[in-house]
Structure 1
């Protein structure tokens, strides 16, 4: 028999991740249902951990502390000894560094996942123990913008070969988004108000300050309310900016919330005013899945999510005037807003469906292991 004949029909995959989100969890289960032998090592504190346990897919609970976690590396090495894995798929830099170390001396294919732009450099030693490591066979990029960024990296003669880079969108399913819209009254939002929602972490690149300026630029007859969802409530500078804005009573902080998608679902428009380094933001996808019209900046993978003028509006980053004009346009043209919201929902339901992610990921595994 030839070596090819000895191989099972589909390869065995070891996925290394942390507290995997719903799209990752359903990808793993979808691959198993497609016939792949998939085991997962992940954080037992994740909200989807039990679902993977019920599916018989958790090889070992694992919560890596850092990229040099000795116990975690030993646990991965121990798991690799139990089965003839052909691929390790690592979903974060810690898992990638530890997986590379644990599989040293083997011919296992290493697949990395990259969800954001930035922080990789040929001059950064940490990049060489993760994405630039010569044993990495593929880097799955969650958006074309990330793939293009990685392809553009250069230092002297060094670059990442094009064949190592592959874009696979993170898939979703509209059935996951069935929560009842939240009652916005608890945040002081008047009943029947026109609501703009923005969800994000408290980092300057999210552009909250630009959005607050945009709200101040709205004409007085555009009575829009803004909900800022997340730990941005800890940003004293932003609070001072809100207090000094033209209508501070129309801007509401919710603090960190577990029901952020339900808050977005109760809004009219969802805005993400990021100024740099976005991948394929989950908050935008969740809002679109609920049929909420998105307004985003042309940063990272966001223009791949939102078709400008069809399934939402795309504006230049750092432009309060452009954001303000877009919000006013949707406020004054409710039929346009409704049609864009429906188109946004349809786009997530079809172009970003989890079945497509399962199919493309499975084909990549087969190509890497000579099953094509």
Structure 2
């Protein structure tokens, strides 16, 4: 089987890194088209031996990208097209059909109750999504929560498949030596209690809540924000206003790669707790990765945890999401002291090998219907 994956961009983000990880576990010959922003993940895919094509799309209404994408699909003689993220799903499904490929699968990574990929879920967004969805064979939801949202939107239940995001659990296994190395590299003082946040630095992730919480915590508490985005300057200003700028570290984008001391597993090892203040998540990949690293987690929304039995994610605590709730739970965790850094059942449940096998079943069904 030969497949083409079409994604909106390949900067460091959950969907983008999930695609790279998935391609390393799929027994399929895959190429990737990125509509915009080749980014860091494109470099990683190229290092993995994956062919990456940059379509050079200039914006959401760059209709000249459609015939270019059709030509790429026709030239590649693909058996299946798999689209990721809103813009790529809209253009990719239509281009695949125009190119004569009927086996079209889409993964819905980021559908929330009120927004998708940071854009408000207007009637126009919904109508365009549903119109293009009908051009595919099936839509993959990354959690039962997202599947329910798709059904409420009007996607027929039989067209929805659930394939959760996956992680390489072994990569996140806690290493005390790596923790010490990374904390020294970051310049953290000995004895610092490090609260971590991982994700795009955008308003929807609500990392400003953690900055306000830090201002109410003792001076030995630090905040480590891992990710890039347009909201970084706003968060820096918020830290200045709160008087905690000297205790907030911004790492920028960090891949899940092979750079000990600088990659995401290393940075998770340096933390004492992960805090996820986002009020609306489709899966909660950062939470699952933190659990795999053996970290206690405070979260507001995480379908990956909420869709499992209560005892599967020991160490994960749901909080209201306001500043006071984070201050209270962080104070409680600090007083309790450190615990063994081992991955709970939830982390093992979301194995990338299991997710890849489930996706292959979806592929087989899509191709068999052509």
For this structure pair, what is the TM-score category when the shorter chain's length is used for normalisation? 0.7 to 0.9
Give unmatched runs, 5+ long, in structure 2: 255-261
Conservation of the 8 A alpha-carbon contact between 1:23 and 1:354: no
For residue 168 of structure 1, report the CA deviation from its aligned partner.
1.2
For residue 331 of structure 1, report the CA deviation from its aligned partner.
1.4
Residue 141 (structure 2) aligns with: 141
Decide which structure has the larger Cα Rg and report it: 1
Matched, 1:369 2:367: yes
SS of equivalent residue, structure 1 residue 103: helix
Residue 208 (structure 1) aligns with: 207
Residue 124 (structure 1) aligns with: 123
Give unmatched runs, 5+ long, in structure 1: 1-10, 154-158
Matching of residues 144-293 of structure 1 within 5 Å:
144-153=144-153, 159-177=154-172, 180-181=178-179, 183-184=182-183, 189-215=188-214, 223-230=220-227, 233-235=232-234, 238-239=238-239, 241-243=241-243, 248=244, 251-254=247-250, 256=252, 258=254, 259=262, 261=264, 262-274=266-278, 276-293=279-296
Matched, 1:111 2:105: yes
**Structure 1 residues 327 and 86, CA gap change in structure 2 (3 angstroms):** same
Residue 353 (structure 2) aligns with: 355
In 1, Cα distance between equivalents of 2:305 and 2:204: 14
Conservation of the 8 A alpha-carbon contact between 2:60 and 2:87: yes
For residue 223 of structure 1, report the CA deviation from its aligned partner.
4.8
Matched, 1:94 2:87: yes
Residue 325 (structure 2) aligns with: 322
For residue 143 of structure 1, report the CA deviation from its aligned partner.
2.0
Conservation of the 8 A alpha-carbon contact between 1:280 and 1:305: no
Instruction: State the Cα deviation string for residues 284-321 of structure 1 (Å, max 9, x = none).
Output: 34433332222211355453489579432322333333
Residue 13 (structure 1) aligns with: 3
SS of equivalent residue, structure 1 residue 27: helix
Stretch of structure 1 that moved more, 94-103 or 77-86? 77-86
In 1, Cα distance between equivalents of 2:52 and 2:226: 36
**Structure 1 residues 169 and 251, CA gap change in structure 2 (3 angstroms):** same
Q: 1:298 aligns with which of 296, 301, 304?
A: 301
In 2, Cα distance between equivalents of 1:291 and 1:71: 48
Conservation of the 8 A alpha-carbon contact between 1:233 and 1:255: no
Matching of residues 6-45 of structure 1 within 5 Å:
11-17=1-7, 18-19=9-10, 21-32=16-27, 36-42=28-34, 45=38
Instruction: State the Cα deviation string for residues 160-205 of structure 1 (Å, max 9, x = none).
Output: 1111222211212134448934544576642122221223444333
For residue 59 of structure 1, report the CA deviation from its aligned partner.
6.9
SS of equivalent residue, structure 2 residue 268: helix
Q: 1:81 aligns with which of 74, 86, 92?
A: 74
For residue 91 of structure 1, report the CA deviation from its aligned partner.
1.0
SS of equivalent residue, structure 2 residue 72: helix
**Structure 1 residues 46 and 122, CA gap change in structure 2 (3 angstroms):** closer
SS of equivalent residue, structure 2 residue 355: helix
In 1, Cα distance between equivalents of 2:146 and 2:30: 26
Instruction: State the Cα deviation string for residues 255-277 of structure 1 (Å, max 9, x = none).
Output: 63534623332111111112x22
Conservation of the 8 A alpha-carbon contact between 1:85 and 1:108: no
SS of equivalent residue, structure 2 residue 196: strand
TM-score for the superposition, normalised by structure 2 = 0.76
TM-score for the superposition, normalised by structure 1 = 0.76
In 2, Cα distance between equivalents of 1:242 and 1:140: 42
**Structure 1 residues 289 and 309, CA gap change in structure 2 (3 angstroms):** closer
